[in-house]
Structure 1
Amino acid sequence: MSSFWENLDKFPRFLISVLAGFFLTTFKTFFKQLKNTKSKISLIVVITIIIITTYTIIKKMTGIE
C-alpha cells in the first residue's frame, strides 16, 4: 500500500511536466511564425476569429443575450 501513496505523490509533478511540455511544443511553432510580418497578421486574424467564434458559441449555449 505504501507504493500506491508514493506513486500518488509523484502525480502532481508528472502532471505539471506534461502540461509544460504540451504548451512549450505548441507555442514554439507560434513563436516561429511571429518572426514573419505576413504570418504575424494572419496568425492574429486566425486567433481573433477563434476567440470570437468560441465567445459566440458559449453565449448561445448559455442563453445569455
Structure 2
Amino acid sequence: MTDFWINLYKFPRFLTSVIIGFFLTTFKPIFRLLKNKKRVTLFGITIVLLLVICYKILAKMTSIE
C-alpha cells in the first residue's frame, strides 16, 4: 500500500514533465521555421486565415451573424 501512495505522490511531477515535453516537441520545429523572415510572414498569414475560418464556422454553427 505504501507503493501506491509513493506513486501517487510522484504523479504531479510526471504529469508536469509530460505536458512540458509535449509543448517543447510541438513548438520546437515551428520556432526553427520562424528564423527566416519570409516564413514568419507566411506563418502569420496562415494563422490569421485559420482564426478567421474558425470564427466563420463557429458563427455559422451558432447562428451568430
TM-score, scaled to structure 1: 0.75
- Which position in structure 2 is the counterpart of 1:2? 2
Cα distance in 2 for partners of 1:63, 1:8 equals: 46
Aligned length: 65
* RMSD of Structure 2 on Structure 1 (CA): 1.9
Question: Cα offset for 1:51?
Answer: 2.2
Tell me the alpha carbon deviations over residues 9-40 of structure 1, each in whole angstroms, 9 at most, x when there is no partner: 11111111011111111111111111112211
Q: Give the letter for the 2:13 counterpart.
A: R
5 Å-filtered alignment, 1:33-52, equals 33-52=33-52
Identity %: 52
- The structure with the larger Rg is 2
Q: 1:7 to 1:63 in 2, by over 3 A?
A: farther
Q: 1:33 to 1:4 in 2, by over 3 A?
A: same
TM-score, scaled to structure 2: 0.75
- Long gaps (5+) in structure 1: none
- Long gaps (5+) in structure 2: none
